[in-house]
Chain A
Amino acid sequence: MKSQKVTKKQKRLIYMFRAISVRIFAAVMVIGGFLGLLFFVRPDTSEVEKRTLTEFPKPTLSSLWNGEFFSDLSLWYSDTYPMRDQLIAADQKVESVYGIKTSTMMVGNQKQSDDIPDADAKKADSKDAKEVEEISAPDSRAMESEIQNQIQDSLYVKDGAAYTIYYYNQNAADIYTSALSKAAKELEGETDVYSILVPNNSGAMLTEQELEDLGGADQKQAIDYYYSLSDGCKTIDTIDTLREHNDEYLYFRSDHHWTQLAAYYVYENFCKEKGLEPNKLSDFEKMTFSPFLGTFYQKLQNADMAANPDSVDAYIPMATNDMTYTDTDGSQVDWHVIEDVSTWNENSGYSCFIGGDKPLAVIENPDLDDGSSCVVVKESYGNCFVPFLVDHYQTVYVIDFRYTQNNVMDFVKEHKVQDLIIMNNISIIASEDVATTIAGLLE
């Protein structure tokens, strides 16, 4: 019916437009194919995602035969496609019309949280160290992704800030606390073991009502429970103090870390426990790095965050700003406790503290020669806490449990360390993998 009515002239026009369409299609395909051939402009890292992109696979007889090589090749082709970061940004523009982004939302998967036993009930229903389910320690790459899951899987977003929801895991708690008590027992009389558990931003910043609505587990209850099981360890209050100050800038909005101001309040509590006089915050020389758009922003690309970015305040220790760290390849690097990262890109603000996450960092205080020393076993939450310790010890050793192969117990004994400070974010150690890794270092 249609063809009867269409005149010859109209038909010619239809053909013309269709021919143009086919030519544009062909042009896009050929340009796309040509760009793909430009192997020298293929990126090897992604600035936005902070990861090394897939490498060109090495063909082996077996990987060719079972097809693994080809699937890796396909992955490499798309993962390192030229102008990838720009094209991804364009795609995210497109995806922003998929729906409505509200200022308050919940991103990611809700998880199941174990029930936290009452801190007073203590050992009664907790498992013996031996009964704890054995879990083998993961390699560091697997652990990276595990940590990312722990802290970024379920996010509550409100007014340009993201909050991590906390899920308690009984087995991880058992592994972690029994390792700490065992270490404290073994080092009794020689070294004091401090356990510092830091809440994540939701636990410190959100109202009780919001926390209840969000689900997940109660961080105060969890920290109390962990502390109650850590026999022989000195425990430092964190969450109560932080909640008292939660009208201040204690956590970043666009990043999962806490600010150095929050770390300062915990440092004050630490000094009280140890009987030291804390330095006044106003006495430190301060550096500020702004704007800072951290990990939450990378994941969510939230416009409210970009409109109101974070800034990082960093306080330089009085005694020294010099340090050395050992990198994963074993090389020694001279660095600064507070490094000037103002020329780095806008998602690097938190990297200013103690060189980021390194297997081992050492800070020598030239003003002291009393032989005092401490070891801080930490993940990135510890980074902004360490600078405050510098003025109180002749030597501060910092071990990031994710990158070190050294046994912490041997290290502590060998260096006759006075204080072993184990400092972690409560969300991260709710991973059994992470708890197992820490337990392995404390054996």
Chain B
Amino acid sequence: MVFSSLIFLFVFLVSNLIIYLLIDKKYKNKVLLIFSLIFYAWGGPKYLILLVGETFASWFFALKIQHSKNKRSRKLYMLGECIVLLGLLGYFKYAVFFMENFQALFGVPDVIPNIVLPIGISFYTFQLLSYVVDVYRREIHAQPVFWKLLLYSSLFHQCIAGPIVRYETVADEIDNRTVNQTDIYMGVRRFCIGLAKKSILANSCAEIADSLILPGSDALASQSTLGLWLGMFAYMLQIYLDFSAYSDMAIGMGRMVGFHYLENFNYPYIAKSVQDFWRRWHISLSTFFRDYVYIPLGGSRCSKEKIIRNMAVVWFLTGMWHGASWNYIFWGIYYLIFLLLERFVIGDKIPGPLKHVYTLLVVFFGWVIFKFESLGELGHVLIGLFGIGTSGFTGMDVGTMFLSNIFLLLFASVACTPLGKTIRQILIRYGTRNPVSFMVFNITEMIVPPILLILSVLALIGNSYNPFLYFQF
């Protein structure tokens, strides 16, 4: 099930919230668990076995690690956990990719099996891994009750699209959490903002990107240079608005019931350097790699050669995590190069305002690499953006597309900046002295969430508008 669907909103979430609200406190976690399992099973009950199985393994290994006296057996159990979880992730996510490359090089195997990627496996695998590693490092206590760990790994707020919530963030809140009025309001608001970002802005940007950037090299060649730029610009907006919207909705729904997940995005497109961008983008993934890969390898407190090695490992893995295809690996290496350049060559030499331009350009071309799994198409677009091999500089369809979405694109761009947040802060700051500003603040506080909800519902229904015009009436 996806958050941005009517059935999720009006059937799943409504019944979840009503039952959660009415039921006795001691059953609240069980309600969440049952709903989470249904939510996950929606994408195919067979994958539930995988989620439950991985959770069971992690539960078992974590308890074993905690109860082991000697170092060796702790290590062995930790190794067991890694083998099981990374093995399953490797099988489901990367086996086909490795076999394809192997086949291309050596001609075997003849037949590559069709392995379907289970929903959310990259997210919950990392969550469970971080849990067991933290137990191993004695940073947290292992969860003795299996179903509570299952609640952590399967919780529908974050199970399939992040953020990657650390067990320590929610460990206490699983058993003791309180919800006050502010939590509920903030949760509702955050959820509505996320829903609107996804169903209104991201979906519309996706429509623009999809109609300008068509699959297939022939189709790409018939696009104009400006068409490619506009399409990729819309894609750049889409990917942030879409991804951060899921995090917003997760944080919002968590807050409504008393969970405080950490922020996953911090306005990445206002970053002043590539390094700054990665501190603001998908924070839960970056910190995962920082804490479980980079620092254990020695981090930055070692020789230059080792720093480069450590960063290379992290960025290779970051690329790989995003998908089993070469372009994601290139994408990781691409960022590695810029991060190394910033660290060892560029330093702070770029003048003020140009920093933003430089960062956005690097990120923009990063998304080009990210978007195309077919290297032929990727090449086409990369040179096409410089005017080579396109149908011309611009075309009428590009003009129409731009004009008929100009306000949407502007709004979506503003939604990537903290402008809304700033205005809200200004209103309340003046509001304490100025009654007009205070009323404006209150009224916007009141109407923004429901208006966003209603507009999102309209957009979701509008999405199903498909004038499949039968020529027979």
Binding site for B on A (CB under 8 A): 2, 5-7, 10, 13-15, 17-22, 24-25, 28-30, 32-33, 35-36, 48-51, 64-67, 70-71, 73-74, 77-79, 81, 84, 87-88, 90-92, 94-95, 97-102, 105-112, 144-145, 147-148, 152, 154, 156, 213-215, 295, 298-299, 347-348, 351, 356-358, 379-380, 402-403
Q: Which of A19, A112, A147, A351 contacts B473 (CB 8 A)?
A: A351
Q: Which of B9, B406, B445 contacts A29 (CB 8 A)?
A: B9
List B10-69 residues whose CB lies under 8 Å from chain A: 10-11, 13-15, 17, 41-47
Compute how far the CA of A101 lies from the CA of B400 in the bound complex, rounded to whole angstroms: 8
| Cβ of B442 under 8 Å from chain A | yes
Q: Are the CB atoms of A17 and B397 closer together than 8 Å?
A: no
Majority SS at the chain B contact face: helix
Q: Are the CB atoms of A106 and B397 closer together than 8 Å?
A: yes
Which of A2, A90, A95 has the most B CB atoms < 10 Å from its CB?
A95
Q: Are the CB atoms of B14 and A32 closer together than 8 Å?
A: yes
Compute how far the CA of A285 lies from the CA of B468 in the bound complex, rounded to whole angstroms: 34
The 10 A-B residue pairs with the shortest CB-CB distance in the complex, in nearest-first order: A67-B44, A91-B462, A105-B400, A33-B14, A98-B408, A106-B397, A99-B404, A106-B396, A18-B185, A24-B450
Q: Which of A20, A29, A88, A97 contacts B462 (CB 8 A)?
A: A88
Q: Are the CB atoms of B461 and A213 closer together than 8 Å?
A: no
Compute how far the CA of A401 lies from the CA of B4 in the bound complex, rounded to whole angstroms: 41
Compute how far the CA of A359 lies from the CA of B261 in the bound complex, rounded to whole angstroms: 61
Question: Could you say which residues of chain B place their CB within 8 Å of the CB of A379?
Answer: 471
| Cβ of B344 under 8 Å from chain A | no
Question: Could you say which residues of chain A place their CB within 8 Å of the CB of B449?
Answer: 21-22, 24-25
Q: Are the CB atoms of A7 and B432 closer together than 8 Å?
A: yes
| Chain A, Cβ-Cβ closest to B13 | A29
Question: Could you say which residues of chain A place their CB within 8 Å of the CB of B10?
Answer: 29, 32-33, 35-36
Instruction: From known contacts A2-B429, A94-B459, A98-B408, infer whether A49 and B185 are also in contact, taking CB-CB under 8 Å.
Output: no
Q: Are the CB atoms of A67 and B13 closer together than 8 Å?
A: no
Q: Are the CB atoms of B462 and A78 closer together than 8 Å?
A: no
Question: Could you say which residues of chain B place their CB within 8 Å of the CB of A28?
Answer: 450, 453-454, 457
Q: Are the CB atoms of B5 and A91 closer together than 8 Å?
A: no
Question: Could you say which residues of chain B place their CB within 8 Å of the CB of A19?
Answer: 181, 185
Compute how far the CA of A5 lies from the CA of B434 in the bound complex, rounded to whole angstroms: 12
Question: Could you say which residues of chain B place their CB within 8 Å of the CB of A95?
Answer: 204, 462
A105 smallest CB distance to B (angstroms):
4
Q: Are the CB atoms of A91 and B461 closer together than 8 Å?
A: yes
B434 smallest CB distance to A (angstroms):
11
Q: Which of A17, A36, A64, A347 contacts B442 (CB 8 A)?
A: A17
Compute how far the CA of A207 lies from the CA of B4 in the bound complex, rounded to whole angstroms: 46
Instruction: From known contacts A25-B192, A98-B407, infer whether A91 and B396 are also in contact, taking CB-CB under 8 Å.
Output: no
| Cβ of B467 under 8 Å from chain A | yes
Compute how far the CA of A67 lies from the CA of B192 in the bound complex, rounded to whole angstroms: 28
